[in-house]
């Protein structure tokens, strides 16, 4: 089915191959000579042909970030890889290769035309992100099941489809099946699908289509609910209260509590557990959860206000700097006009010195503005840091208060469990227990120390779970605050300052070079 080059050594995509391909496809004659002399920047290349190169593995294309068209047909490629960074691709040809699986296309969300003709593909899959796909050729592969057609229903912009020479094309009613389940297709296997054909196909498969539509609607509803829950959980995690709006913490206390799981079968414990987790412990967790969300909103509002202040200060400072540069440029134009007509060398030298003085004054003014902004932003950051520290400290303090309530509830529960265990032990020792209990629980009632240790061990596990949850929340929010402040200081403000100072110095150097490079020869102009 696919082309095989058994007698030819596979090629490797290297710098030499890429450079040659770009030069071969680039501008010709004089423009081509200039391109070769000045060098080729792969980042500027929009189209690239690498067909008939006997390429086995796709590699080395990461620099072609602007590429919109890539031709890799008629090679011996076995795996789609090495193109995830080509996010601007619109057209991709991988026909006549040895590819078995559709993969590695997730990031190519701009792709409109995809050709996989003449490969070894048996399933249409892993293309969910290609929502702009309009032309898809996967003919002459190994597609046997018509269910592959249903996968293509998600591509609402798909108009041209080539499935020719796949095994399922020999099935009776193949063309009608495609017309029925892909009504948005206009051209199938190079032939127009007219409305009459589509209408007849729909009528023939109406029951199946309506069932599929119903299933798709249900699937979309499930997906929407999953997405909603995922976003909700993400919010809860940002608020550091995930899984506190329910019995999750309580259930986790028993999940790793082997003794507690046995003790649940003691007479009267089932009623106690209903009161303890649902009416007491879960209520405390719910209060923590709601409080955490409220505090998260306060922190988010504080962060938003901080960045508004930062942007406001930067904008104001930038405008003052631009005014200073504009005023200088206006003076510069006037000074250059005057210097072009001065014939006296001494007078000209004085004028050049005056110009250089103006440059120095501009540098002083721009650097002064930058220092002013640094001081201003430092004060804003310090105030923000103090406010956030207060918010986080208040959150932690109140959270720990809720955790104290949770421990108190667990202690009260423990006392009741101990009471039930003591009563049950007496009944067991006197053979007065009315109901049968499991053998593993009976083993705990051999004497008072054994059952007491079991109840205490269960209690310790529960307290440890509460402690760990508290430590986890406190650690995560402190780390978040520390990382945020460090990022603002080091990665954003320091880098911004360095970049701004570099910009100012480059401007000043350019202005000085301008006057140095001028040919001021008394009255001859420049």
Q: What is the pLDDT of residues 226-248, one digit of tens each?
A: 999 999 999 999 999 999 998 88
Domain assignment of residue 462, yes or no: yes
Domain assignment of residue 448, yes or no: yes
Q: Does position 496 have pLDDT exceeding 90, yes or no?
A: no
Q: Does position 328 have pLDDT exceeding 70, yes or no?
A: yes
pTM: 0.68
Report pLDDT digits (tens) over 448-486. 999 999 999 999 999 999 999 999 999 999 999 999 999
CA dist 103 and 126 (Å) reads 6
Span 338-362, mean pLDDT? 89
Q: What percent of the chain has pLDDT over 70?
A: 93
Report pLDDT digits (tens) over 294-320. 999 999 999 999 999 999 999 999 999
* pLDDT greater at residue 455 or residue 433: 455
The encoded tokens of residue 210 equal 């309506």
Cβ(96)–Cβ(74) under 8 Å?
Answer: yes
Span 359-381, mean pLDDT? 94
Least confident of 276-285, 390-399, 480-489, 516-525: 516-525
Q: How many CA atoms within 13 Å lie on the side-chain side of 513?
A: 6
Domain assignment of residue 360, yes or no: yes
Give pLDDT, residue 146: 87
356 is in which domain, residue-wise? 247-523
**Mean pLDDT computed over every residue of the chain:** 89
Span 430-435, mean pLDDT? 78
Give pLDDT, residue 452: 94
Structural domain total, the chain: 1
Q: DSSP 3-state assignment of 508?
A: helix
Q: Does position 93 have pLDDT exceeding 70, yes or no?
A: yes
Domain assignment of residue 484, yes or no: yes
Cβ(263)–Cβ(421) under 8 Å?
Answer: yes
Report pLDDT digits (tens) over 97-148. 999 999 999 999 999 999 999 999 999 999 999 999 999 999 999 999 888 9
Question: What b/e sequence results for 444-468 when a residue is b if at least 16 CB atoms lie within 10 Å of its CB, and e otherwise?
Answer: bbeeeeebeebbeebbebbbebbee
Give pLDDT, residue 147: 85
Give pLDDT, residue 39: 58
CA dist 212 and 206 (Å) reads 10
The encoded tokens of residue 171 equal 């099935």
Give the residue carrying structure tokens 């609607």: 217
Angle of helix 29-38 relative to helix 15-25, nearest 10 degrees, comes to 150
Q: What percent of the chain has pLDDT over 90?
A: 63
Span 49-72, mean pLDDT? 93
* pLDDT greater at residue 481 or residue 6: 481
Which phi-psi region, left, alpha or beta, contains residue 29 (left: φ > 0; alpha: ψ -120 to 50)?
Answer: left
Domain assignment of residue 182, yes or no: no
CA dist 386 and 392 (Å) reads 10
Q: Does position 526 have pLDDT exceeding 60, yes or no?
A: no
Domain assignment of residue 144, yes or no: no
The encoded tokens of residue 460 equal 């310790």
Domain assignment of residue 2, yes or no: no
Domain assignment of residue 40, yes or no: no
CA dist 19 and 32 (Å) reads 13
Instruction: Give the phi and the psi of residue 48 in degrees, each rounded to 5.
Output: -145, 125
User: Any idea of the CA torsion for 499, 502, 506, 509, to the nearest 10 degrees?
Assistant: 170
The one-character DSSP state at 312 is H
Q: Does position 3 have pLDDT exceeding 50, yes or no?
A: no
């Amino acid at each position: 089915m696919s082309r095989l080059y058994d007698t030819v050594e596979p090629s490797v995509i290297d710098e030499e191959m890429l450079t040659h391909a770009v030069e071969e496809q680039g501008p010709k004659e004089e423009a081509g000579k200039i391109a070769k002399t000045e060098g080729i920047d792969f980042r500027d290349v929009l189209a690239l042909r690498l067909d008939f190169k006997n390429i086995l593995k796709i590699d080395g294309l990461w620099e072609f970030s602007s590429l919109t068209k890539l031709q890799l047909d008629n090679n011996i490629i076995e795996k789609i890889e090495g193109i995830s960074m080509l996010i601007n691709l619109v057209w991709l040809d991988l026909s006549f290769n040895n590819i078995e699986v559709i993969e590695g296309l997730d990031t190519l969300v701009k792709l409109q035309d995809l050709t996989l003709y003449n490969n070894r593909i048996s399933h249409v899959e892993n293309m969910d992100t290609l929502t702009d796909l309009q032309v898809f050729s996967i003919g002459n592969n190994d597609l046997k099941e018509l269910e592959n057609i249903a996968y293509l229903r998600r591509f609402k912009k798909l108009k041209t489809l080539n499935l020719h020479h796949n095994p399922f094309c020999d099935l009776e009613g193949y063309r009608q099946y495609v017309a029925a389940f892909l009504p948005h297709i206009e051209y199938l296997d190079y032939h127009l699908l007219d409305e009459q054909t589509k209408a007849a196909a729909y009528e023939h498969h109406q029951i199946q289509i309506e069932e599929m539509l119903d299933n798709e609607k249900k699937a979309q509803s499930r997906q929407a609910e999953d997405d909603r829950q995922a976003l909700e959980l993400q919010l809860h995690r940002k608020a550091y209260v995930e899984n506190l709006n329910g019995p999750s913490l309580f259930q986790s206390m028993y999940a790793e509590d082997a003794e507690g799981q046995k003790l649940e079968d003691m007479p009267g414990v089932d009623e106690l557990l209903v009161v303890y987790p649902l009416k007491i412990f879960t209520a405390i967790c719910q209060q923590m959860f709601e409080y955490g969300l409220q505090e998260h909103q306060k922190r988010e509002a504080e962060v938003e206000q901080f960045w508004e202040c930062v942007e406001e200060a930067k904008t104001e400072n930038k405008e003052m700097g631009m005014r200073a540069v504009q005023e200088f440029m206006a003076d510069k134009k006037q000074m250059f006009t005057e210097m072009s007509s001065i014939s006296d060398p001494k007078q000209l030298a004085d004028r050049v010195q005056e110009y250089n003085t103006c440059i120095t004054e501009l540098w002083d003014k721009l650097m002064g503005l930058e220092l002013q902004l640094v001081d201003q932003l430092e004060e804003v950051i310090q105030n923000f840091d103090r406010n956030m520290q207060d918010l986080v400290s208040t959150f932690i303090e109140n959270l720990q208060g809720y955790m104290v309530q949770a421990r108190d509830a667990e202690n009260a529960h423990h006392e009741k469990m101990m009471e039930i265990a003591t009563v049950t032990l007496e009944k067991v020792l006197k053979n007065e227990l009315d109901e049968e209990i499991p053998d593993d629980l009976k083993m705990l009632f051999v004497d008072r120390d054994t059952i007491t240790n079991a109840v205490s061990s269960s209690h310790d596990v529960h307290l440890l779970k509460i402690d760990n949850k508290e430590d986890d929340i406190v650690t995560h929010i402190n780390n978040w605050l520390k990382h945020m402040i460090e990022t603002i200081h080091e990665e954003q403000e320091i880098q911004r300052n360095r970049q701004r100072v570099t910009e100012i110095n480059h401007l000043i150097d350019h202005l000085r070079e301008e006057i140095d490079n001028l040919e001021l020869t008394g009255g001859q102009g420049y």
